[in-house]
Structure 1
Amino acid sequence: MAIKSVTVIGLGGMGGGMAHSLLREGFAVTVFNRSAEKAMPLVRAGAVHAETVAGAVAGADALVLSLADESAVDELMSDEVVSRLEPGTVIVDTTTVSPSYARDAAARLAASGVERLEACVVGNPEMAMAGRLRVFVSGEESTVDLLEPLLSALAQEIRYLGAAGSASALKLALNLLLGVQTAALAEAADFAEASGLGRELLLDVVLNSGWRSPVLGFRAEFMRRRVYRPAGFRTVLMHKDLDLALRQAASYRLPLPLTRQAAGRFETAIGQGRGADDAAVVVEVSA
């Protein structure tokens, strides 16, 4: 079965970008977001806006989810909604969830005749808009092959990882590294400023030396401009992902002391009202 109609649920920076990319590649795209105003740019670009989740999923060959957390997935993909899906419908879930949740969700959906692919998407909203993400997928390999045209519309690289839970584990490992690096960059900037060097000098050296990386460069630019909205990756989501990693690690009896320290710093930022800001705002947060 060729995938022609795609519903995208969740139109934040990543979800909205992916929906634009699918439109550009010729898919018939329906969109839904709890805040309907986020759908309007996509409607102007040719998408159909559904006012309800049930209306959004009706007749779709595939669904792409880009939601905040596990509870949002459970809320929008309720039994009532899933029962409206045609057998064989594929859900591509790009939401960052725990490996345990991913395996349970795949089993629940399979019982309803619906397939779930979990997709670890690596990149930022600009890359999502350009169809230049890197996508690491787990689930049934034959289903990944079936959805290759859809995934190719989103990604410059697609890699199959294996059984359910694999992509979620990779995403948490990557975001663990991102959170620790972002917190470390913030501390380096704090140290430079306390030493009288200035934040800008430290960030300039980082961005023009062997310490530079695309990930650190993206966060460093927020810190340099001291402007944290619109966020590339909200602080509240960074903390959520570090917490997921810590909870999953606890089930392995694996201590992650650096991750725990970094999570605490992002939690402080949230407590100071900066949860909607980009995670780079941690540089502005007093301990």
Structure 2
Amino acid sequence: MTERVAVIGLGAMGGGMARALLGAGYAVTVFNRTRERAEPLAAEGAVLAPSAGDAAAGADVVVLSLADEPAVDEVLFGDVVGRLRPGTVLVDTTTVSPSYARTTATRLAASGVRRLELCVLGNPEMAAAGKLRLFVAGDATAAGRAAGVLSALGQEVRHVGGPGSASTLKLALNLLLGVQTAGLGEAVAFAEAAGLDREVLVDVLLDSGWRSPVLAFRAGFVRRREYRPAGFRSALMHKDLALALEQAEAHRLALPLCREAAGRYAAAVAAGRADEDAAVVAELAGEEKR
């Protein structure tokens, strides 16, 4: 077993992954810019580091779970990279663009650090239970060195290719999730405008051929009309759809459904609902009138 693991970024998914690693018997050092998120993990056996660099120093595997590319630039290249030993494996679960993933891998390789990017499928509960599905891109040798950590995090681990491959897969899947969730929101708005209770719609959906695990998870928020704590924040959904559109431009793709869905989440962010689950678009759809 690789003994020394650092987890940097303890949001819903990062915190869950840290718990899974602790449960698997790893010595885990954690850091989060908001210390309050790190403190419960200390009670569970993690060591709290005063900085991201201190967390990473001496680690064999560093797991990064941040919000976006600027956060990676600030944390990884601002504080962490100078503290990593040659041969360290960086497991980056942050959703970034494929081009950014490739550039980051090249920059780290110059320091002797091997980067693995992960397309992570699952929710915070699955993360804490070590039941995520992990699609890994990057150096196969590095994936072998981190195999124990990856197995502790996921019930399925699959290598999908070189740098950028996992990022492409994640953006494609989040594109589909974003469009489906926006569609669910409009279905709810339509049903309620016509006098049908959303409970009826959700019940029928969950017992029909339209049911899927991801829609069922989002439908739970819609049924309760409660969108905190978020499984996947509106702000992050908007960010990922914007990244997909940016990458599509390079391939001369229009992606009109993605563009329309991105507008839904942009509206949620503008309405002050950035930190609520992406399913909150159901409430915004019901407020819009022609």
Fold shared per TM-score above 0.5:
yes
Q: How does 1:160-239 map to 2 (within 5 A)?
A: 160-239=159-238
Match of 2:249 in 1: 250
Q: Could you tell me which runs of 5 or more consecutive residues in structure 1 were left unpaired when the two chains were aligned.
A: none
Match of 1:101 in 2: 100
Match of 1:159 in 2: 158
Q: Secondary structure at the match of 2:141?
A: helix
Match of 2:274 in 1: 275
What is the CA-CA distance between 1:81 and the residue it aligns to?
Answer: 2.7
State the superposition RMSD in angstroms: 0.9
What is the CA-CA distance between 1:148 and the residue it aligns to?
Answer: 1.0
Q: How does 1:1-287 map to 2 (within 5 A)?
A: 3-78=2-77, 81-285=80-284, 286-287=287-288
What is the CA-CA distance between 1:79 and the residue it aligns to?
Answer: 5.2
Q: Secondary structure at the match of 1:55?
A: helix
What is the CA-CA distance between 1:162 and the residue it aligns to?
Answer: 1.1
Q: Secondary structure at the match of 1:77?
A: helix
Q: Secondary structure at the match of 2:86?
A: coil
What is the CA-CA distance between 1:149 and the residue it aligns to?
Answer: 0.7
Structure 1 residues 220 and 80: alpha-carbon distance in aligned structure 2, compared to 1, 3 A threshold: closer
CA–CA separation in structure 2 for the residues paired with 1:126 and 1:64:
18
Q: How many residues align?
A: 286
CA–CA separation in structure 2 for the residues paired with 1:100 and 1:94:
15
Regions of 4+ moved over 2 Å: none
The letter for the 1-side match of 2:240 is D
CA–CA separation in structure 1 for the residues paired with 2:127 and 2:8:
15
What is the CA-CA distance between 1:219 and the residue it aligns to?
Answer: 0.3
The letter for the 2-side match of 1:158 is V
2:268–2:281 contact (8 Å) kept in structure 1: yes
CA–CA separation in structure 2 for the residues paired with 1:93 and 1:58:
16
What is the CA-CA distance between 1:145 and the residue it aligns to?
Answer: 1.4
What is the CA-CA distance between 1:80 and the residue it aligns to?
Answer: 5.0
What is the CA-CA distance between 1:54 and the residue it aligns to?
Answer: 1.8
CA–CA separation in structure 2 for the residues paired with 1:189 and 1:46:
44
- Percent identical among aligned pairs is 65
Q: Deviations over 1:56-110 (max 9, x none)?
A: 1111111000100010011001255312211000100000000000000000000
The letter for the 2-side match of 1:21 is A
2:56–2:83 contact (8 Å) kept in structure 1: yes
Q: Secondary structure at the match of 1:83?
A: helix
CA–CA separation in structure 2 for the residues paired with 1:175 and 1:264:
15
Q: Secondary structure at the match of 1:169?
A: helix
Q: Deviations over 1:234-270 (max 9, x none)?
A: 0000000000000011111111000000000111111
The letter for the 1-side match of 2:245 is L
Q: Secondary structure at the match of 2:218?
A: helix
TM-score w.r.t. the length of structure 2 is 0.97
CA–CA separation in structure 2 for the residues paired with 1:30 and 1:265:
38
The letter for the 1-side match of 2:183 is A
